[in-house]
Amino acid sequence: MPPPPPPPPGPAPKPSGPAYKHDGSDLNSVLFARVDKVEAIEPVRPSTPPDFGPEVFHEVHFDWINASDLYNLLQRAPVAISSVSRRLVFLILDAPCPPQFGSQLLVIDVRSNAAYDSEHVRSSISVDWEALECADMLDCEATVHQRFWHRRFFNVVLYDDESTPEAEATTLASFSAALQTEKRCSRTVHKLRGGLRQFMEAYPFLVKGHPAFTDAEFPSEIKDGFLFLGSWKSASNLEALKALNITRIVNATASCDMPFDQQAVYLHCPLDDKPDHDLSQFFGDFIAFVRKAQGEGQRVLVHCQMGMSRSSALAILWMMDFHDMTLKQAYDYVHSKRPYINPNPGFLKQLGEWEHANRGSSTIRFPEDDAPITLITPYEWLQADGTWKMRVLKHQ
């Protein structure tokens, strides 16, 4: 008699976590979607600063920045990236991982605690320098906000009521001298020209205590009072758009909605963030759209999903066209206002072709072969001394 048949197989084991399905999103969007999930978990930070070894001392230098510079610094600060995601960022950014990936900004209000409690720049801390009367900066660390310790590594911005380089108040000058004496700040320390008064005139919505204050995400300001560059999150926040008086919007995506067509004029450039996508087909319409806005005194926001590739390429084009910059100059300028831009190589190649057609030469060059442009295609930038420097991907 034959043996009985084997029992049917049981159900397949369930995966331990949800399967990841690539939906065609560009690399930047995928990366930041995963970062959002990781960073949604509130980290538990120690009550005492980490031990980085012995103190390192530096000559401390100072400069003065305008209100728009601080505005842009504040737009970088909220982003934090886990150690795993940080390694991915090194792979895709054409620069070392920039300071804003980790909220490395320390804004210090040196006015009185009472003045700070009334109104202060968003995310700043109070160091009431006159009241503290500290013999040493280390003594202050025990009495002020614990973030003051991070002056050693972070970008530091100081402000008072209304100091300028020509008329610096005693308190700001004294606090600056103390930082210079202790030599613990590793980066150039910035002083806010015009202080809180001038900043509040331009950006009241970023001053806590002001009736217009909001915690909304705002775009970066590329040209003061005119051209802004941001993500879909900032473009979909009507409160932010009204605060900045933005009435024209360039949507550089194929997927994002245009929800405020009653409040703003849109130009739709349906782009995918892929190196082989034809960015140049929108050059003429984009330049005409922005020129018309400028002629009518209107403000323009250019956005894509993350404000890194598609929209940054168009912002670079505007700087090349209207301000007669080379591609390298325009890239560096936009990068200085929003350091995490990352236009893909295909877009840069098309911008280089536009530059060559309009200027007779280009400041970027690609391999002279027929290989398709990809995210890792090498290219070179023309340097000021006439040499060429290869773009290098950073590996971990």
Average pLDDT value over all residues in the chain: 85
Asked if the model's pLDDT at residue 72 lies above 60, the reply is yes
Confidence of residue 83 (pLDDT cuts 50, 70, 90): very low
User: In CATH, what class is 56-208?
Assistant: alpha beta
Tokens of 382: 């023309």
Q: How far is CA 19 from CA 27, 88, 216, in A?
A: 18, 20, 33
Can you say how many angstroms the Cα of residue 359 is from the centroid of all Cα atoms in its chain? 30
Asked if the model's pLDDT at residue 21 lies above 60, the reply is no
Mean pLDDT score, 208-221: 92
Mean pLDDT score, 367-392: 92
Confidence of residue 369 (pLDDT cuts 50, 70, 90): confident
Q: How far is CA 121 from CA 105, 141, 154, 185, 198, in A?
A: 13, 21, 17, 21, 11
pLDDT digits (tens, 9 = 90+) for 235-266: 999 999 999 999 999 999 999 999 999 999 99
Catalytic annotation, pick one of 140, 185, 269, 304? 304
Mean pLDDT score, 96-110: 64
DSSP per-residue string spanning 247-292: EEEEE--SS---TTTTTSEEEE----S-TTS--GGGHHHHHHHHHH
Residue 256: active-site member: no
- Residue matched to tokens 């250019």: 302
Q: Report the predicted TM-score, pTM, of the whole model to 2 decimal places.
A: 0.78
pLDDT digits (tens, 9 = 90+) for 188-204: 999 999 999 999 999 99
pLDDT digits (tens, 9 = 90+) for 319-356: 999 999 999 999 999 999 999 899 999 999 999 999 99
Identity (one letter) of the amino acid at 230? Answer: G
At 365, which helix (H) or strand (E)? strand 364-365
Model pLDDT, residue 362: 97
Model pLDDT, residue 370: 84
Model pLDDT, residue 386: 95
- Choice among 81-90, 275-284, 301-310 with the minimum mean pLDDT: 81-90
220-360: which CATH number, 2.60.120.20, 3.90.190.10, 1.10.10.10, 3.40.50.2300? 3.90.190.10
Confidence of residue 395 (pLDDT cuts 50, 70, 90): very low
Report helix, strand or coil for 207: strand
Model pLDDT, residue 136: 78
**Which are the contacts of 128, defined by CB distance < 8 A and separation ≥ 6?**
110, 111, 112, 113, 116
Mean pLDDT score, 79-94: 35
- Domain residue spans in the chain? 56-208, 220-360
Model pLDDT, residue 16: 47
Is residue 72 left, alpha or beta, with left meaning phi > 0 and alpha meaning psi from -120 to 50?
A: alpha
